[in-house]
């Protein structure tokens, strides 16, 4: 009697173990969902031209630009301007200068992030090189454009936004 009881209890516990293993993978979509709902994820913030947004000339937001290359991407990557003051609602342009140092064509993609994190959702991109994969031929250089505005809804306590790009290598290099 008791021996089969043992197996029954053990089976229930094994189901619990399997459930928790599945839960770990369920965390992936769950996490992305939470990040999207709360606007925490450094999402690409695609936006059209500002509609119904007057330029708020009473405020100025300092936008800082930063460009990093992931260690396994043989590129140079730098913004043309380090910082820019804009009024909320005002459309501005910045170029990033990119050079491929390798002897072959390499494809990469830039991943953005905005600091402070809760300011991320107010940084609107109309056009950005980070929306697409970028392919550079051997030793090719390019100017990559970014066109953006800062939403007029940006809270009063945010006066600086720092936009940081990390250019990632999309070719599978292995470690």
Partner 1 sequence: MTTTTMDIAHDNDHHDDHGPQKGWRRWVYSNNHKDIGSMYLIFSLVMLILGGASAMAIRAELMYPGLQLLEPDLYNNIVTNHALVMVFGAVMPAAAGLANWMIPLMIGAPDMALPRMNNLSFWLLPAAAIMLVLSFIVPFFPGGGSQINTGWTLYPPLSLQVGMAMDFLIFTVHLLGVSSVLASINIIVTIFNMRAPSMTLWNMPIFVWTWLVTAFLLILILPVLAGGVTMLLFDRHLGTSFFDAAGGGDPVLFQHLFWFFGHPEVYVLLLPSIGVLSHIIPAFSYKPLFGRKSMIGAMILLASIGMVVWAHHQYTIGMSSAAVSYFMIGTILISIPVGLMKFNFIATMWRASMTFEAPMLFAISIVAMFVFGGLTGVMLAIVPADLQYQDTMFVVAHFHYVLMPGAVMALFAGVLYWLPKWTGNMYNEKLANWFFWTSLIGFNGTFFVQHFLGLAGMPRRIVDYPVQFTEFNFISSVAALIYGLSHILFLYLVIQTIRGKGTTKAKSRSWKGAKGLEWEVASPAPFHTWDSAPTVDAEGEIKQK
Coarse DSSP helix, strand, coil percentages of the chain, rounded to the nearest 5 percent: 25, 40, 35
Q: How far is the CB of 117 from partner 1 (least distance, A)?
A: 4
Contact status: 13 vs partner 1 (CB under 8 A): yes
Q: How far is the CB of 98 from partner 1 (least distance, A)?
A: 16
Span of 13-21, 82-90, 92-100, 150-158 interacting with partner 1 by CB under 8 A: 13-21
Closest CA to 86 of 118, 114, 124: 124
Site for partner 1 in 96-155 (CB under 8 A): 109, 111, 115-118
Exposure letters 57-71 (e unless 16+ CB within 10 A, then b):
eebebebebebebee
Q: Which two tokens stand for residue 78?
A: 């730098």
Contact status: 20 vs partner 1 (CB under 8 A): yes
Which residues, in sequence order, are bridge partners of residue 100? 75
Q: How far is the CB of 19 from partner 1 (least distance, A)?
A: 8
Contact status: 172 vs partner 1 (CB under 8 A): yes
Within 8 A by CB and 6+ apart from 17, the residues are none
Quickly list DSSP for 45-92.
Answer: -B--S--S----TT--EEEEEEEEE-TT--EEEEES-SEEEE-TT--E
Nearer to partner 1 by Cβ, of 102 and 170: the residue is 170
Which of 3, 52, 58, 132 is close enough to bind partner 1 by CB under 8 A? 3
Q: Which residues bind partner 1 (CB under 8 A)?
A: 1-3, 5-6, 9-10, 13-14, 16-25, 27-28, 31-32, 35, 38, 40-41, 70-72, 109, 111, 115-118, 166, 168-170, 172, 175
């Amino acid at each position: 009697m008791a021996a089969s009881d043992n197996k029954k209890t053990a089976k229930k516990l094994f189901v619990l173990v399997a459930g928790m293993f599945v839960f770990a993978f369920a965390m992936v979509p769950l996490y992305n969902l939470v990040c999207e709902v709360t606007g925490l994820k450094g999402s690409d913030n695609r936006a059209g031209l500002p509609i119904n947004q007057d330029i708020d000339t009473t405020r100025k937001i300092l936008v800082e630009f930063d460009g990093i290359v992931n260690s396994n991407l043989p590129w140079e990557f730098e913004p043309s301007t380090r910082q820019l003051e804009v009024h909320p609602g005002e459309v501005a342009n910045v170029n990033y200068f990119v050079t491929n140092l390798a002897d072959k064509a390499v494809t990469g993609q830039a991943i953005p992030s905005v600091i402070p994190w809760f300011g991320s959702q107010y940084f609107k991109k109309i056009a950005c090189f980070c929306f697409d994969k970028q392919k550079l031929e051997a030793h090719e250089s390019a100017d990559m454009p970014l066109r953006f505005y800062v939403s007029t809804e940006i809270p009063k306590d945010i006066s600086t936004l720092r936009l940081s790009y990390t250019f990632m290598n999309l070719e599978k290099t292995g470690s």
